Structure 1
Amino acid sequence: MSLSSSPTLRQCLDGRRNNLDFIRFVAAVGVIFSHSFPLGQGLGTFDPLEIFSHRQSTVGHLSVAVFLIISGLLIAQSQERSPSMAGYLWARALRIFPGLAVMLLASTFLLGPVLTELPLAVYFQSPETYLYLLRNFTLYQSQWGLPGVFHGNVYPDVVNGSLWTLKYEVGFYLLVAGLGLAGLMRRWVALAGWVAAALVPFVPLVGPRLNLWPELYLYFGGGLALYLLRDRVRMNRWVALGCTGVLVLTAWLGGFRYAVGSCGAYLVMYLAFLPSRLSGFARYGDFSYGVYIYAFPVQQLVVMRMGGRVAWWVDAAVSLPVIVGLAALSWHLVEKRALRLKHSPPALLVRLLPGRARPAEGAAPHAQL
């Protein structure tokens, strides 16, 4: 298929079938696979990508990048199609916080009391017990441990190490909201932001203070830029093959993270819109978020029950069905029910943000969510 005859990304997005749900689920399982090495066997145990890439990335880190690439595309689309900025922000909050709240409550008041090595009175009197809930729900400051929980594991004192990414995800939601309100959802802004994210880590004093924001924006911004360029970007197998080659070479030679934010973003979109039977993968529910937020504590629990150290593949194999089961419950009992409220944002939010966000570049004139 020639490049000129290949469908544009817009044409792919206008279709009803895609593999995005399957790719997100695979990415969530990739995090489980990657975490099983340090959680089961301790720090200094590397997953295959970490070895091949000379520690540029892990399978888990690459999986987070895939999540953010897809998020960049879908969040830009959500902002464009939302009837108001209040509606956009309310829908995003409902996607993250109800499921997170239930998981944190279960960890703090069910998992913690059962597994702590401390007397229950000490556990419940410790400020760290309640700060774990508050800090991780507000995303203000991550707290990894609960008092006396998983202390004997080979990866000790960490209940849920996956939650660190959520503040970045929410931060990017707010960034898109700000760009929409300012009328800056434009191709040149997205491309300039991506270049700035690539360069700013090399700026003395400034780069180190920004922590992971620039790197993670390479991935989120890659998806965002592709969405804004959707009329011009064509989904072509030869381009996808070339992107695969670039990813393999940079994993071996260096520059892998920049390649993931550019070539990787293209490859994810190409795979997302390949015709396949996987397009109906989420007909039973969208379990990827639940898998992501429940995986770490379940994996730690499996390691604990097996003596504090276990082979990586045992941890992954035993944990996975439990995690998927919890994710299914989270979707059907919490997340799906919360999302039914997305078309009714609170009155206070509507009063604070009464207007419609300015449409993104290339937006359809009457797009509706």
Structure 2
Amino acid sequence: MTTNYSAKHDNSFDIIRLLAAVAVIYSHHFALSGFSEPQVLGLESFGTTAVIIFFSISGYLIAQSYQRSSSDFEYARKRFLRVYPGLAVCLVFTIYICGGLLGSESFLHWVTSWDALKTWLRVMGLTGIGFVGVTPEGMNNFTNGYIYPNTMNGSLWTLFFEVFDYIVLAFCLKWFSRYNAGLWIFLVGSVVLQLLCLHFGITKLALVATSHFSIPFAVGALFCVYRDRWINNPKVKVVLLVVALIALLLSGLDVILVKTLYTVAVCYLTLLIGISFRDRLIKGRFDFSYGIYIYAFPVQQIAINELGIGFWSSMLLSLLVTLVMAALSWFLIEKPMIGRKKSRVLVRATE
């Protein structure tokens, strides 16, 4: 595997991801309270737009990670350590603590039950993701009587598609690296699949979500592999910006390309802004976005349905509690795992 790449550039991806994570909390709070989620240009919710932003940045950074990895095993190891340790602890909180304290069975009975362990294993295996398809019994009937029932961590369902994109990207870069053909096939295939879903009214989640999230991921990856051609070229950046703005304007038309154009435009703008501006506030200090993503949903469910303190008060409380939990997840779990990844690289460099 070739490991030649240009030097790491300053960017503002960390702060963009943090703002996108907060946008998800804002958007989800409406849905969890029984209201329609606010829309961006009447096309996508704030939450869906934030997920597009996440996937576009992820595509860029994961492609870079693959190029910098010494082997496919090293790449897989880094991805595992970034996703699964934090997820494992979050599921203990969601399934055992929330389900045990707020479910129908007693705490001791629930935490020692096979149903609790089975649910934990299912979601760790990325099946029943986000407790979509997990029966109420698999959640100790937690959230049954809530405004948004039978879903105690609905955000996690996108993790399956994130990991799917990790695998597809590695396959494309390893076996179809010439002219980056694999990534182009990945992007075109995702666009075609989305257009087919829109044209024929296909609503099957696996097809709709795969196409919808793989488009920004593939675009982000292509931005990465072609970065030497545009990253220090203001003219190319201006052209890309104009293309993105035109696509954003066209996405307001009532045409079959509406969601595709909107997705591509958001992706372009995210990457251009992320690369063009330097984050002096949080870059290199912390990254709470993943912690917010995995903890916000159950915190919001509890704040909305158990406390009865009003919409905006519960949103503010949810944000504060989630930030605390995300900080604990970062400093106690995620950062140490990232440290293990970096120390492994340093050991290899000194051998």
After TM superposition, is the score higher than 0.5?
Answer: yes
Contact 2:100 2:108 (C-alpha < 8 Å) held by counterparts: no
Which aligned pairs between 1:218-297 and structure 2 lie closer than 5 A? 218-233=215-230, 234=233, 236-237=237-238, 239-251=240-252, 253-254=254-255, 255-276=257-278, 278-297=279-298
Where does structure 2 lack aligned partners over 5 or more consecutive residues?
none
2:327 equivalent in structure 1: 328
Letter in 2 for 1:340: G
1:69 equivalent in structure 2: 56
The offset of 1:258, in angstroms, is: 1.3
Contact 1:194 1:221 (C-alpha < 8 Å) held by counterparts: yes
Structure with more of its chain in helix, by fraction: 2
The offset of 1:266, in angstroms, is: 1.9
Are residues 210 and 301 of structure 1, via their aligned partners in 2, closer, same or farther at CA, if it must alter by over 3 Å?
A: same
Structure 2 Cα separation of the partners of residues 162 and 342 of structure 1: 26
- The number of equivalent residue pairs is 328
Letter in 1 for 2:116: T
What are the superposed Cα offsets for residues 184-231 of structure 1, whole Å, 9 maximum, x if unpaired? 364333223212211134287999573421221111111112222223
Contact 1:65 1:260 (C-alpha < 8 Å) held by counterparts: no
Q: In the alignment, does 2:75 pair up with 1:88? A: yes
1:212 equivalent in structure 2: 209
Which aligned pairs between 1:28-47 and structure 2 lie closer than 5 A? 28-40=21-33, 42=34, 45-47=36-38
Structure 2 Cα separation of the partners of residues 127 and 206 of structure 1: 36
Structure 2 Cα separation of the partners of residues 289 and 275 of structure 1: 22
Bigger Cα displacement from structure 2, 80-89 vs 113-122: 113-122
Structure 1 Cα separation of the partners of residues 203 and 314 of structure 2: 37
Which of 25, 34, 39 is the equivalent residue of 1:48? 39
Where does structure 1 lack aligned partners over 5 or more consecutive residues?
1-10, 346-366
What are the superposed Cα offsets for residues 59-79 of structure 1, whole Å, 9 maximum, x if unpaired? 111111111101111111111
Structure 2 Cα separation of the partners of residues 147 and 248 of structure 1: 47
The offset of 1:141, in angstroms, is: 2.7
The offset of 1:343, in angstroms, is: 5.2
What are the superposed Cα offsets for residues 136-195 of structure 1, whole Å, 9 maximum, x if unpaired? 111023224511212222111211000001011111111122223324364333223212
Q: Which protein has greater RCO, CA pairs closer than 8 Å, 6+ apart?
A: 1
Structure 1 Cα separation of the partners of residues 202 and 305 of structure 2: 41
Which of 97, 100, 103 is the equivalent residue of 2:90? 103
Identity of aligned residues (%): 30
Contact 2:62 2:166 (C-alpha < 8 Å) held by counterparts: yes
Contact 1:290 1:331 (C-alpha < 8 Å) held by counterparts: yes
Structure 2 Cα separation of the partners of residues 133 and 37 of structure 1: 27
1:179 equivalent in structure 2: 172
1:304 equivalent in structure 2: 305
Structure 1 Cα separation of the partners of residues 154 and 145 of structure 2: 16
Q: In the alignment, does 2:325 pair up with 1:338? A: no
TM-score by length of 2: 0.83
Q: In the alignment, does 2:128 pair up with 1:141? A: yes
TM-score by length of 1: 0.79
Contact 2:94 2:153 (C-alpha < 8 Å) held by counterparts: no
1:317 equivalent in structure 2: 316
Contact 1:222 1:265 (C-alpha < 8 Å) held by counterparts: yes
The offset of 1:122, in angstroms, is: 5.7
Moved over 4 A (4+): 124-127, 203-209
1:153 equivalent in structure 2: 146
Are residues 164 and 330 of structure 1, via their aligned partners in 2, closer, same or farther at CA, if it must alter by over 3 Å?
A: same
Are residues 176 and 238 of structure 1, via their aligned partners in 2, closer, same or farther at CA, if it must alter by over 3 Å?
A: closer
